[in-house]
Amino acid sequence: MAVVSTDALVEGTHFLPDSPPARIGAAAANASLSDVAAKGAEPAALLLALIAPPGTPRSWAEELVRGADRAGAAFGAPLVGGDTKPGPVPTVVSTVLAWGRRGRLGPRSGARAGDLLVTTGVVGRGGLAAHRWEISRGRSAARKRALLDLLDVRPRVREGVVLGEWVDAMLDTSDGLADACRLLAGASGCRVTVGEELLPLVSGLRTSPFPPRERRAIAFYGGDYELLAAVPRTYFSAARAAVRTVGGRLTAIGRIERGRGAWLENGGDTHPMPAGGWRPFARRGSGPRR
């Protein structure tokens, strides 16, 4: 069956004016690829719509399109068409067409009490990139590196395809792990409990001396683009082995229980999941994207 996903990146919200155009295009394609990965579908084609102010250099647009095409083609979804229009703010809208097998597409609403909560990759990569951008002001080399890191979207397409066989529910963490946990709990009508000490934090976050509150804010900021899934306990070993066969990593970080809401557990204490996650309509100015 067909799976379709559309995403948009807007200058000033998701990327900055001096961001490399090829990276912007790749990030746009990869954001949509992450959405179909969260369904366990296999990408087939990419469409791109580009809105840019009059006078935008042709070379900027061409580099952006090439970046998107390369990113899509890397996962079997080359650029096959799109559109361009004038507009006040540079905006990239990407659409990925994919195919999935009925019964192996991960819904958000299927998590069951007794499942393990698992994630691919690491937690906090997007938040750490945003933090490094914030502290890079006045340092050109650090700022340039941060601009690249902010657009470093890595869709877990291969992991999603193999996980589709084992999961009861799945979604991506583009808006942050905390936000994804709340969405999963709400859609499935269950309680999601995360063990903070189990989180596979990105190395720069785990080894740096951040205070606990700041570490959580960075970890849950968003922009990780990992997969969060509910897996029956009896299938966890098989699911983890399947992810390893495609070069990925799967970590159990919590559990699904009867109840409601998303919760964070640390040292025997359990509290509501702290506020966190990308809120584009709550932000103004030219800050970095998730």
168 and 248 co-located in one domain: yes
pLDDT of residue 243: 98
Q: What percent of the chain has pLDDT over 90?
A: 78
Residue that is last in its domain, among 99, 125, 149: 99
Q: Tell me whether residue 289 is in a domain.
A: no
The mean pLDDT value for 129-137 works out to: 86
pLDDT of residue 208: 80
Q: Tell me whether residue 287 is in a domain.
A: no
pLDDT of residue 285: 43
127 and 242 co-located in one domain: yes
**Which residue type sits at 72?**
G
Please report which confidence band the pLDDT of residue 276 belongs to, taking 50, 70 and 90 as the band edges: confident
Q: Tell me whether residue 207 is in a domain.
A: yes
Please report which confidence band the pLDDT of residue 135 belongs to, taking 50, 70 and 90 as the band edges: confident
Q: Cα dist. 250→93, 151, 221, 267 in Å? A: 30, 23, 20, 23
Q: Tell me whether residue 107 is in a domain.
A: no
Helix (H) or strand (E) holding 116, with range, is strand 116-120
pLDDT of residue 41: 97
Strand order in the sheet with 227-231: 169-172, 227-231, 116-120, 250-257, 191-195, 261-266, 269-272
70 and 132 co-located in one domain: no
Residue that is last in its domain, among 64, 99, 134: 99
pLDDT of residue 289: 46
pLDDT of residue 178: 96
Cβ–Cβ under 8 Å, residues 192 and 261: yes
Does the pLDDT of residue 282 top 90, yes or no? no
Does the pLDDT of residue 156 top 90, yes or no? yes
Please report which confidence band the pLDDT of residue 268 belongs to, taking 50, 70 and 90 as the band edges: confident
pLDDT tens digits, 65-107: 999 999 999 999 999 999 999 999 999 999 999 999 887 889 9
pLDDT of residue 279: 63
219 and 267 co-located in one domain: yes
**Residue 216 dihedral angles phi and psi, to the nearest 5°:** -65, -45
pLDDT of residue 146: 81
pLDDT of residue 111: 98
Q: How many domains would you assign to the chain? A: 2
* Residue-by-residue DSSP string for 55-122: T--HHHHHHHHHHHHHHHHTTT--EEEEEEEE-SS-EEEEEEEEE--TT-SPPSS---TTPEEEEES-
Q: Tell me whether residue 39 is in a domain.
A: yes
141 and 76 co-located in one domain: no
77 and 165 co-located in one domain: no
| Domain span holding position 43 | 2-99
pLDDT, the chain, mean = 92
CATH number reported for the structural domain that contains residue 214 in this entry: 3.90.650.10
Please report which confidence band the pLDDT of residue 284 belongs to, taking 50, 70 and 90 as the band edges: very low
183 and 237 co-located in one domain: yes
Cβ–Cβ under 8 Å, residues 191 and 185: yes
Q: Tell me whether residue 16 is in a domain.
A: yes
147 and 44 co-located in one domain: no
pLDDT of residue 147: 81
pLDDT of residue 286: 43
pLDDT tens digits, 189-214: 999 999 999 999 999 898 888 898 89
12 and 155 co-located in one domain: no
122 and 166 co-located in one domain: yes
CATH number reported for the structural domain that contains residue 95 in this entry: 3.30.1330.10
Residue that is last in its domain, among 49, 70, 99: 99
196 and 158 co-located in one domain: yes
131 and 267 co-located in one domain: yes
Q: Tell me whether residue 285 is in a domain.
A: no
Q: Cα dist. 172→153, 205, 208 in Å? A: 12, 20, 26
Q: Tell me whether residue 179 is in a domain.
A: yes
The mean pLDDT value for 171-183 works out to: 96
